[in-house]
Amino acid sequence: MSGLLLRALRAALPVPVALPAVRRLRTAAPRPAFAKELFLGTLRKEEVFPYPEISNEELEEINQFVGPVEKFFNEEVDSKKIDQDAKIPPETFKGLKDLGLFGMQIPEEYGGLGLSNTMYARLGEIISLDGSIAVTLAAHQAIGLKGILIAGTDEQKAKYLPRLASGEHLAAFCLTEPGSGSDAASIQTRATLSEDGKYFLLNGSKVWISNGGLANIFTVFARTEVVDKDGQLKDKITAFIVERDFGGVTHGKPEDKLGIRGSNTCEVHFENTKVPIENVIGEVGGGFKVAMNILNSGRFSMGSASAGMIKKLIEMTAEYACTRKQFNKKLSEFGLIQEKFCFMAVKAYVMESMAYLTAGMMDRPGFPDCSVEAAMVKVFSSEGAWACVSEALQILGGLGYMKDYPYERYLRDCRILLIFEGTNEILRMYIALTGMQYAGKILTDKIKEIKKGNVGVALGEFLSKLRDTMGRKVDYGLVGDHGVVHPSLQESGKKLEENIYYFGTTVKGLLSRFGKTIVDEQLVLKKVADIVINLYAMTAAISRASRSISIGLRNHDHEVLLTNIFCTEAYFKNNYAMAQLQKYADENLDDYIKKAAKQVLEKRAYTCSHPLDRTF
């Protein structure tokens, strides 16, 4: 029976463990948005200090899971063969089913493991060692069945989740179309309600669908006619649960991909597919919100998955660097090689810190909205993974380029991380605009209060500006005698506080300067996103390192060192970016960049004369 091994291990635990349904209960008041508050120059330290802890019972439970999963991936998974054959063999699928890995976050009452976000992230570290398997499992549960989990009815959950949890059925997420990639709202697949109102007829095609050729259950998004409040007929997106057995569901041949070659990716077509009305997820016309909630909830796990991969790369590459000799010295003795190992260690530590901080926040009661935090983890981790794999390959030189070694496969596999689950360009816009909108609303409310004659608000703004002109001392309570940051991290804490405060003033200046047109200033928004991603990364690393040194974890001094390196680098990057965002800044080249790009795109070519051309 699928998942029998891990469920047996759970049953053998000496202390009863809370059921996943209990873990997920959200009974407290809604929690404030940590990342959005950064745009106001506000640090809600109680949200991130101390670093999240899991219970002893949950820790014991996850440790019981880790062993069998690691053993399976180390001994039973042939990643080289999966890559070469461009498919995951049946015996590997069976092993994944036996471990219960198709139902990691499905509640136990439906046959899943019912893991918290933190536990899911921990197993993700191991699963990421094979990119094809990681994508197959993520497409199944992080997006494929997630709509049923978060917005499905009790009847839908009871009907579909048990077989999805066991791996008997595989799920896929069908949103992208030939004419709509990042612009999800422009999809053309249509679902037409039957005259008797009992079913929808679904017609359209979807592209780049992971698990598309294997799935039995599809979460499909299609346009439907909806009568709005004014009685007008409008097109709105609706989410559906579609079974392959409904008929009219076909798929194209598997795509021949650069990386993650063992995962199944293909076109999926729906032709007059009859979908019962009871298979609508959420409300008719509410599908866009369902899609965004699905995508927003799963991105955080890319941090732990990327960190797991980089930690493995460091281990393999260090062995080579410490034994390979050139010029009568080991590679590990050369400064430029040492720099690469420091770079990889810092990236792994920070993305891991961000991932588990976000997972811990998501596991708390109070309906936490961590969509911005999750997007920041995805952007930082995907770009960090790509850079680290490139550095690891570089350390091996020519050997790294050969297919006899896994480095080139890691390089090919991880390139997709910057593209799927929202391209990093789109996510940067989402991060920046979500935060700017949040800050804009609160700042607008303040202006209204001042105009109404609210003396308290007006005085507060005046005093704030006065303190800035006199050289404000920024103090959010991170450092000092009563600070939450360990003394060994005091300088990093001060840098974070200063960056946060001046980021808030920068955002205020941008909103004043651009107003609503800020949505069109993508180069500005990119810098805003990069700053706030760094701020969240600094926060996560400082909080984690403070915990580690405070409780005496082994090698905590190494964590402090990595954190201080990262925070110092991020601090100066943030300062430069904020300088670029000032009006008339010499550092800002945005207008020149746009002008150069326009000249290239008008000709659709590189326009410079060749160096051998002449006018005589």
- The whole-number pLDDT of residue 130 equals 97
Question: Quick check: 172 and 144 in contact, CB under 8 A?
Answer: yes
- pLDDT for 315 beyond 60: yes
Per DSSP (E only), the strands in 314-366 are 325-326, 329-330
- The whole-number pLDDT of residue 112 equals 96
Please compute, for residue 349, the number of CA atoms within 13 A of its CA located in the half-sphere on the CB side. Answer: 26
Determine what percent of the chain is predicted with pLDDT higher than 70. Answer: 90
The angle formed by the CA atoms of residues 341, 343 and 349, to the nearest 5 degrees, is 100
Q: Which of 180, 236, 186, 189 is nearest to 208 (CA)?
A: 180
- The whole-number pLDDT of residue 15 equals 43
- The whole-number pLDDT of residue 181 equals 78
Q: Give the pLDDT band (50/70/90) at residue 297.
A: confident
- What integer is the mean pLDDT of 251-259? 96
Instruction: Pick the more confident residue, 439 or 1.
Output: 439
- The whole-number pLDDT of residue 604 equals 96
Per-residue tokens: 430: 């989402």
Q: Give the pLDDT band (50/70/90) at residue 276.
A: very high
- What integer is the mean pLDDT of 442-471? 61
Angular region, 114: left φ>0, alpha ψ -120 to 50, beta rest: left
φ, ψ for residue 85, nearest 5 deg: -80, -10
- pLDDT for 24 beyond 50: no
Does the predicted model carry a pTM greater than 0.75? yes
Rg of the chain, C-alpha, whole Å:
26
- The whole-number pLDDT of residue 23 equals 43
- What integer is the mean pLDDT of 146-174? 97
Cβ neighbour number for residue 462 with a 10 Å cutoff: 11
Q: Please, which residues bridge with residue 268 across strands?
A: 206, 251
- The whole-number pLDDT of residue 480 equals 87
Model pLDDT for residues 180-208, shown as the tens digit of each residue: 877 878 899 999 999 999 999 999 999 99
Question: What burial letters (b/e) apply to 464-483, b meaning 16+ CB within 10 Å?
Answer: eeeeeeeeeebebebbeeeb
- The whole-number pLDDT of residue 13 equals 53
The angle formed by the CA atoms of residues 388, 497 and 573, to the nearest 5 degrees, is 40
Q: Give the pLDDT band (50/70/90) at residue 20.
A: very low
- Collapse the DSSP code of 176 into the 3-class scheme (helix H, G, I; strand E, B; otherwise coil) and give the result: coil
Q: Which of 169, 173, 170 is nearest to 144 (CA)?
A: 173
- What integer is the mean pLDDT of 426-435? 96
Q: Give the pLDDT band (50/70/90) at residue 447.
A: low
- What integer is the mean pLDDT of 215-235? 92
Per DSSP bridges, beta strands 217-227 and 171-174 are parallel
Residue given tokens 């508050």 in the structure block: 37
- pLDDT for 5 beyond 50: yes
Model pLDDT for residues 65-79, shown as the tens digit of each residue: 999 999 999 999 999
- pLDDT for 31 beyond 70: no
Rounded Cα gap, residues 206 and 177, in angstroms: 5
Q: Which of 446, 476, 478 is nearest to 462 (CA)?
A: 446
- What integer is the mean pLDDT of 364-378? 89
Residue given tokens 């992080």 in the structure block: 142
- The whole-number pLDDT of residue 19 equals 36
Cβ neighbour number for residue 602 with a 10 Å cutoff: 9
Rounded Cα gap, residues 368 and 362, in angstroms: 6
- The whole-number pLDDT of residue 446 equals 67
Q: Tell me the average pLDDT of the chain.
A: 91
Model pLDDT for residues 518-555, shown as the tens digit of each residue: 999 999 999 999 999 999 999 999 999 999 999 999 99
- The whole-number pLDDT of residue 232 equals 86
Q: Which residues are catalytic?
A: 421
- The whole-number pLDDT of residue 444 equals 83
Question: Quick check: 453 and 553 in contact, CB under 8 A?
Answer: no
Q: Which of 409, 121, 365, 374 is nearest to 261 (CA)?
A: 409
- pLDDT for 299 beyond 70: yes
Per-residue tokens: 609: 């004369």
